[in-house]
Structure 1
Amino acid sequence: MSTPNLTGSLLVATPALEDPNFRRTVVLIIDDDAEGTLGVVVNRPSDHLVEEVLEGWSAFASAPAVMFAGGPVGEGSGLALGVPGDEEEPLGWRPLDGDETEAGRMGVIDLDAPPEVIGGGLGRLRVFAGYSGWGQGQLGAEIEEGAWYVLPASVEDVFSDAPETLWSRVLRRQGGDLALVSTLPDDPSLN
């Protein structure tokens, strides 16, 4: 049985996932292939303004205009996602591979390119410090163990102006049992 390509999907941590790196996270999968999977946590804003780290990009950053903790790998490196502002794809923007869904309008931004060249062509921009990565077969095993829900992504999820409530909002809109999961308190012992 072949595993579907997860590029452009959300991984939403189940309550069973206790790893502090991923507890109650929402991860957008940026690349999924035979060698492994790469994604960024989209609901962990930091206290660092984009302008403090990447001066020229701050004018184009979506609110909140802070760096996001993309994951525990490569925390000293930056990665950015963007959505074109119009139908034309800006230079330095590479669309996510995967099915042509709403998530397909998102892409990776080349942060080494001059921001004034790319920024004007973007409708939205989010910058991440670090990323989340899984080796071949590792993520599939975690999904099978019940650590993650795999759900459709939307541009509104990734560029939410209220990322701290994204985990519960994504689950709630699924309806049924997942809507119920969205109401669980952060610490069930306090219930």
Structure 2
Amino acid sequence: MAQIKLTKGKLLIAEPSILNDSSFNRSVILLSEHNEEGSIGFIINKPSKFVLGDLLPEIESDLIIYKGGPVSKENLYFVHRVPHLIPNSVTIADGIFWGGDFDAVQELLINNTLGKDDIRFFLGYSGWSKNQLQDELDTTSWIVIENKYQNIFDVSDQSFWKDQLMRFGGEYKLWANAPENPSLN
């Protein structure tokens, strides 16, 4: 499989070789930052048991909070598609933005201006130090793909990882169809 250049906005698909890693098993990560200092991303296909209203009771919201990764799991992060509504947003890629003015986000949520197609919240993030992610790519922990999704928030949480592996074909189809916990088989 040809290697795609590692840049922010790409998706990282967990290789079957890391199935024993509880943080990244069957993960798809949106790479939000990648530079000479390191990389940051958010796992986009692992919902937590929390909704936004659980963490911010002043905001009556049933937006699902996702497990962004194993770093700073006590902090809330967000990725969105509405930089015109959220000042100080950072561009990840075409139509995808990270962070911004959280007071504006709260106001938009209270006014029911933002929905699940506009914003996604994460507890924690996935982070790599300088050259760490490239080392993991070299040891076949991740597959880098272009993000070709019009709205990344529309993808299915349950089948997104499997769907990506099925596209790769060959032995990946076998892994895609393997049970999440083989001991239960």
Q: Give me the TM-score of the superposition, normalised by structure 1.
A: 0.77
In 1, distance between residues paired with 2:155 and 2:6? 28
Return closer, same or farther for 1:132/1:93 CA change in 2, 3 Å cut-off: same
Deviations 1:14-45 (A, max 9, x none): 11012211111111100000000000111111
| Aligned residue identity for 1:171 | L
| Aligned residue identity for 2:33 | D
CA RMSD of aligned residues (A): 2.9
- Unaligned residue ranges in structure 2 (runs of 5+): none
The answer for the alignment partner of 2:85 in structure 1 is: 90
1:181: how far off? 3.9
1:6: how far off? 2.0
* Aligned mate of 2:113, from 120, 140, 143: 120
Return closer, same or farther for 1:7/1:107 CA change in 2, 3 Å cut-off: same
Percent pairwise identity: 26
Return closer, same or farther for 1:96/1:178 CA change in 2, 3 Å cut-off: farther
1:180: how far off? 4.9
Return closer, same or farther for 1:91/1:33 CA change in 2, 3 Å cut-off: same
Return closer, same or farther for 1:153/1:55 CA change in 2, 3 Å cut-off: farther
The answer for the alignment partner of 2:160 in structure 1 is: 166
| Aligned residue identity for 1:15 | P
The answer for the alignment partner of 1:26 in structure 2 is: 28
In 2, distance between residues paired with 1:148 and 1:128? 21
| Aligned residue identity for 1:172 | M
In 2, distance between residues paired with 1:50 and 1:155? 25
Return closer, same or farther for 1:75/1:48 CA change in 2, 3 Å cut-off: same
- Unaligned residue ranges in structure 1 (runs of 5+): 99-103
Instruction: Note if contact 2:90-2:100 (Cα within 8 Å) is conserved in structure 1.
Output: no
The answer for the alignment partner of 1:110 in structure 2 is: 100
* Aligned mate of 2:39, from 20, 27, 37: 37
Instruction: Note if contact 1:106-1:155 (Cα within 8 Å) is conserved in structure 2.
Output: no
Secondary structure at 1:7's aligned position in 2?
coil
Q: Give me the TM-score of the superposition, normalised by structure 2.
A: 0.80
The answer for the alignment partner of 1:137 in structure 2 is: 131
In 2, distance between residues paired with 1:145 and 1:58? 44
Higher mean C-alpha deviation, range 131-140 or range 152-161? 152-161
| Aligned residue identity for 1:9 | K
Instruction: Note if contact 1:79-1:111 (Cα within 8 Å) is conserved in structure 2.
Output: no
